[in-house]
Amino acid sequence: MTRSRFEIRTAVPADFEAIDAFVLAHPGGTVFHRPHWGRAVSHQFGHPQQDLLAFDGETLAGLLPLSLCRGFSGGRALISVPYGVYGGGLEVHTGAARALQDRAQAQAEKQGLRRLELRCRQAPEEGIQGTQSVASSIEVSDLYCGFRHRLPEQADEVLGTIPKKARADVRRAREKLGLVLDQGHWYLPDLVRLFQANKQALGSPALPAGWFARLLEDLGPAVKIHVVRQGSLILSAVMSFIYAGELHAYYSGSLPGADREYKVSSFMYCALQEWAVERGLLVFDFGRSRKDSGAADFKRRQGFEARDLPYAYFLVKDRALPSLNPSNPKTAPLRRLWTQLPAGLAVHMGSMASRFLP
């Protein structure tokens, strides 16, 4: 085995501030790499935070945020990053990210986990450096794509970046229907209510209200909640994260029929980009979507270009990629059943199930 020049160890609470500073200074860092995210996951869902650090002498040279997550069947997996769309290793010294990946893979094998899952923007290298391990294999998923683009310099230029049909919808919503964008943490209950109702309509378990409150508590001013309203009627809501000059539009929901009648989503995301420009932000991140989904089609219609997200899975006990998602036709009966549950029961069951769907 080739010995790495890096000293690798699991992070401890005393490392919290140093890790956050490292992420904020790194060009590849995201809000999901921040230790606050892993802490919120641990507190809300009980998945232990097990971030790995690589040191070159006294210098922090690399970070791999990890959480140990339990699935429905009782098996466990190391995930970077659960409930997030980006993850994987960060390095400032060449080779640190690879060394961290190797350690995490070896740890997954030693502990008999199901897999190591890295939600990377770029696929990592395969295998454990300098070993002959055959217990695990790497698979790269092609299920998801990401959407992000650079914002214009002036807020009044945002509308011009949107394709013609969506641009007309925004103008109608603003000028004829009187829709306005409003912002404040006091809209949290509205966001949760609309998000959970939309998830049930799609046949998917929704995240618990406590998760959104936990993100507000742990990420503080980095979290923004916006609503679109017509007078006092709240039509839609979105929770976004500010990070390093970027706005990540993340969780959202809208009233049934609001897109058909008001084109509320087209208006909301245009107005949200304008809001971001006015505050000096440079990039709008529209998150991820399944390639075959209506959400991906909607984002393309708003002028965003899809880019593959090559999530990497180092399979240990698992023999195939996770398949509990709406793209799997086998989940269709369960999704239909979920839409028919009483709303309160769907929220209660979804809150319990979400722990096992990181």
Same domain, 133 and 152: no
Q: What is residue 5's predicted lDDT score, i.e. its pLDDT?
A: 86
Same domain, 155 and 227: yes
Lateral strand order in the sheet of 67-70:
67-70, 76-80, 115-118, 312-315, 137-140
Same domain, 226 and 179: yes
Q: What is residue 125's predicted lDDT score, i.e. its pLDDT?
A: 61
Same domain, 206 and 265: yes
Same domain, 172 and 39: no
Going along 219-338, which residue ranges are E strands? 223-230, 233-243, 246-254, 283-290, 306-308, 312-315
Distances (CA, A) of 129 to 106, 126, 301: 10, 9, 43
Q: Is residue 203 part of a domain?
A: yes
Same domain, 172 and 262: yes
pLDDT (tens digit, 0 to 9) for every residue of the chain, 358 residues total? 455 789 999 999 999 999 999 999 999 999 999 999 999 999 999 999 999 999 999 999 999 999 999 988 789 999 999 999 999 999 999 999 999 999 999 999 999 999 999 999 877 765 444 333 445 578 899 899 999 999 999 999 999 999 999 999 999 999 999 999 999 999 999 999 999 999 999 999 999 999 999 999 999 999 999 999 999 999 999 999 999 999 999 999 999 999 999 999 999 999 999 999 999 999 999 999 999 899 999 999 999 999 999 999 999 998 888 877 777 788 889 889 999 999 999 999 999 999 999 9
Residues 6+ apart with CB under 8 A from 297: none
Same domain, 85 and 197: no
Same domain, 225 and 102: no
Q: What is residue 3's predicted lDDT score, i.e. its pLDDT?
A: 59
Same domain, 113 and 249: no
Q: Is residue 277 part of a domain?
A: yes
Q: Is residue 124 part of a domain?
A: yes
Q: How many domains does the chain have?
A: 2
Q: What is residue 20's predicted lDDT score, i.e. its pLDDT?
A: 98
Judge contact between 146 and 85, C-beta under 8 A: yes
Burial level of 238, CB count in 10 A (0-12/13-18/19+)?
buried
Q: Is residue 353 part of a domain?
A: no
Same domain, 155 and 282: yes
Q: Is residue 188 part of a domain?
A: yes
Q: What is residue 327's predicted lDDT score, i.e. its pLDDT?
A: 73
Full residue range of the structural domain in which residue 233 is found: 146-307
Q: What is residue 29's predicted lDDT score, i.e. its pLDDT?
A: 96
Same domain, 318 and 185: no
Q: What is residue 136's predicted lDDT score, i.e. its pLDDT?
A: 59
Same domain, 165 and 109: no
- Residue 185 sits in a domain whose CATH number is 3.40.630.30
